[in-house]
C-alpha cells in the first residue's frame, strides 16, 4: 500500500478540509459526530442483520453488497477520524495503548507457546 495519499493523517486532513469548504464544521460537535458514527455502524450492521454466520462470511461475493460494505466501512472510519480530530485524540496511539492493556488483562494461554 502506497503511503500517499492513503495514510490516516492525510485522509483526516482531507475530511477536515471537505467539511470546512462546505461550512459543515458548525455541525461537528463531538456529540453529533459520535451520533453519526453510531448511525453508520448500524448501517453496516443492517447489511448483516438477517444473515446466518455462514452467509455473513460470504458477503463480499456479491459485487453490489461488497460495494455497500466498503461504503459503510468508509463512513464509520470517516466519522471516527473527524471525532478524533475535534477531540485531539490520536486513534492509533489509543489503539496501541489498548492492545498493551489487553495483553496484560487477557494473558495468552501457556499451551499456545509449546
| Spatial CA neighbour of 37 closest among 93, 99, 84 | 84
- Should residue 46 be labelled a site residue for a copy of itself when binding is judged by CB under 8 A? yes
Q: How many alpha carbons fall within 13 Å on the CB side of residue 26?
A: 3
Give the sign of the dihedral formed by CA 75, CA 78, CA 82, CA 85: positive
- Should residue 4 be labelled a site residue for a copy of itself when binding is judged by CB under 8 A? no
Is the separation of the CB atoms in 66 and 59 below 8 Å?
yes
Which of positions 14-43 make contact with a copy of itself (CB under 8 A)? 14-15, 18, 21-23, 27, 29-32, 34-39, 41-43
Is the separation of the CB atoms in 12 and 80 below 8 Å?
no
Among 1, 64, 105, 114, binds a copy of itself (CB under 8 A): 1
Which of positions 70-89 make contact with a copy of itself (CB under 8 A)? 70-71, 73-78, 80-81, 83-84, 86-89
Please tell me the distance from the alpha carbon of residue 109 to that of residue 24, in angstroms, as a whole number: 49
- Should residue 49 be labelled a site residue for a copy of itself when binding is judged by CB under 8 A? yes
Residue with cell 470517516: 78
- Should residue 62 be labelled a site residue for a copy of itself when binding is judged by CB under 8 A? no
Among 104, 105, 112, 114, binds a copy of itself (CB under 8 A): 112
- Should residue 95 be labelled a site residue for a copy of itself when binding is judged by CB under 8 A? yes
Amino acid at each position: 500500500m502506497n503511503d500517499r495519499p492513503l495514510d490516516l493523517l492525510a485522509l483526516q486532513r482531507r475530511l477536515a478540509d471537505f467539511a470546512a469548504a462546505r461550512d459543515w464544521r458548525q455541525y461537528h460537535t463531538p456529540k453529533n459526530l459520535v451520533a453519526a458514527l453510531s448511525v453508520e455502524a448500524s448501517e453496516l450492521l443492517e447489511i448483516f442483520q438477517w444473515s446466518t454466520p455462514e452467509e455473513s462470511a460470504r458477503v463480499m461475493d456479491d459485487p453490489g453488497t461488497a460495494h455497500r460494505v466498503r461504503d459503510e466501512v468508509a463512513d464509520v472510519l470517516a466519522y471516527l477520524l473527524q471525532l478524533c480530530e475535534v477531540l485531539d485524540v490520536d486513534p492509533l496511539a489509543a489503539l496501541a495503548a489498548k492492545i498493551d492493556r489487553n495483553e496484560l488483562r487477557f494473558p495468552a494461554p501457556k499451551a499456545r507457546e509449546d
